[in-house]
Copies of this chain bind each other. A is one copy, B any other.
Amino acid sequence: MSKLITGGLGFIGSHLARKLVNAGEDVVLFDVIPRSRLIDDIRDKVKTVQGDLGNWAQVLEAVKKYKVSAIYHTAALLSASAEEAPLAAYAVNANGTFHILEAARLFDVETVVFLSTIATYGTGIPDRVDDDVIQRPTTMYGVTKVFGERLGEYYNTKFGVNFRGLRFPSVIGPGRGGGGASAYSSLIIQEPAAGRPYEAYVDEEARIPLLYIEDAVQSMVALERAPAGRLERRVYNIEGFSPAAGQLVASIKQHMPGVQIRFSPDPEMVRIVRSWPRELDGSNARNDWGWKTRYGLEEAVSHFIKEFQARRHLYE
């Protein structure tokens, strides 16, 4: 039996793969791209399948072939790429998630762990959003993720597919790369750690909720393993921390005093970032299955820098 990670060659997928490999699991990575430096250190410890989530037959073939007991469904066209190619996003994010759920049903996969996102919430909502805030997303990414949540819940009640989802804030960590309005929150650490100056496209007051990659990965594993009786719902907000960009810089400078970080706000980027919720309320995850985020601002910055510098060949 193996664990299949969709998007396994991506940022979150590769960190999760490493975690599972270290835990002794048989890991299969399903991704549309054929290779990635991000898995250089575990390449010979995992299996990889190149395939397209929008192609149901490829999805089913992989799930059957590797006798999959759990699917971590992290693959999606994310915010910015989905806006550039919304028709591709429909195929991958909406139909792709249907393919995953059907594969799970048809081949008796025990658990499907689904990544959802703060982008499922829209505008005009409280600064702090809990699991019961209305979801009116404004992007194709958000629209298809809300659909994935509802469809997964339905597969759970109708077909008994053990669907479990997490709504993440922006995940930061080494290898996150550029792209999307939240990219600054990782680059502002990674670029200086690489010895390069960084010019942020937001202002010092910009404040979005973040989750460190170690917590992101750990919460997925914890939710997969949580006793069924503990779950009062199928999708949970995961709470991180919400530093202003200026606070991020202050923390970075404690570890790397001489770094050059400038703010050169792009008005459009500032507007987008301001439209997001300030904080995710993750109390249901805490209360129901005991999830506790470990990395706050300091811990995240510290670990990020060390990890990046220790294995820089993986991350750029």
Interface membership of A146, Cβ < 8 A:
yes
| Segment 136-167 of A: residues with Cβ below 8 Å from B | 136-140, 143, 146-147, 150-151, 153-154, 157-158
Closest to A87 in B: B57
| Segment 13-57 of A: residues with Cβ below 8 Å from B | 50-52, 54-57
Q: Is the CB of B147 within 8 A of A150?
A: yes
A288 to chain B, nearest CB (A): 16
In the bound complex, CA of A135 to CA of B95 (Å): 21
In the bound complex, CA of A87 to CA of B159 (Å): 12
Across-interface contacts of A134 in B (CB, < 8 A)? 132-135
Q: Which of B83, B88, B106 contacts A52 (CB 8 A)?
A: B88
Closest to A120 in B: B150
Across-interface contacts of A147 in B (CB, < 8 A)? 94, 143, 146-147, 150
Given contacts A55-B54, A157-B138, contact A60 B106 (CB under 8 A): yes
Q: Is the CB of A143 within 8 A of B151?
A: yes
Interface residues contributed by chain A, number (CB under 8 Å): 41
Across-interface contacts of A90 in B (CB, < 8 A)? 57, 98
Given contacts A87-B57, A88-B52, contact A137 B150 (CB under 8 A): yes
In the bound complex, CA of A256 to CA of B139 (Å): 54
Across-interface contacts of A137 in B (CB, < 8 A)? 150, 154
Across-interface contacts of A158 in B (CB, < 8 A)? 83, 86, 140
In the bound complex, CA of A266 to CA of B51 (Å): 29
Closest to A105 in B: B61
Across-interface contacts of A143 in B (CB, < 8 A)? 147, 150-151, 153-154
Across-interface contacts of A146 in B (CB, < 8 A)? 146-147, 150
Interface membership of A58, Cβ < 8 A:
yes
Across-interface contacts of A157 in B (CB, < 8 A)? 138
Which residues of A are at the interface with B, using a C-beta cutoff of 8 A? Answer: 50-52, 54-58, 60-61, 64, 83, 85-88, 90-91, 94-95, 98, 102, 106, 132-140, 143, 146-147, 150-151, 153-154, 157-158
28 A-B pairs (CB sep. < 8 Å): A50-B85, A51-B88, A52-B54, A54-B55, A55-B87, A55-B88, A56-B56, A57-B102, A58-B85, A60-B106, A61-B87, A61-B106, A86-B158, A90-B98, A94-B94, A94-B147, A95-B95, A133-B134, A136-B150, A137-B154, A138-B157, A139-B154, A140-B154, A140-B158, A143-B147, A143-B151, A143-B153, A146-B147
12 new A-B contacts at CB < 8 Å, known A139-B154, A146-B147, A147-B150? A52-B54, A52-B91, A54-B55, A55-B91, A60-B60, A61-B106, A87-B102, A106-B106, A133-B134, A135-B135, A140-B158, A143-B147
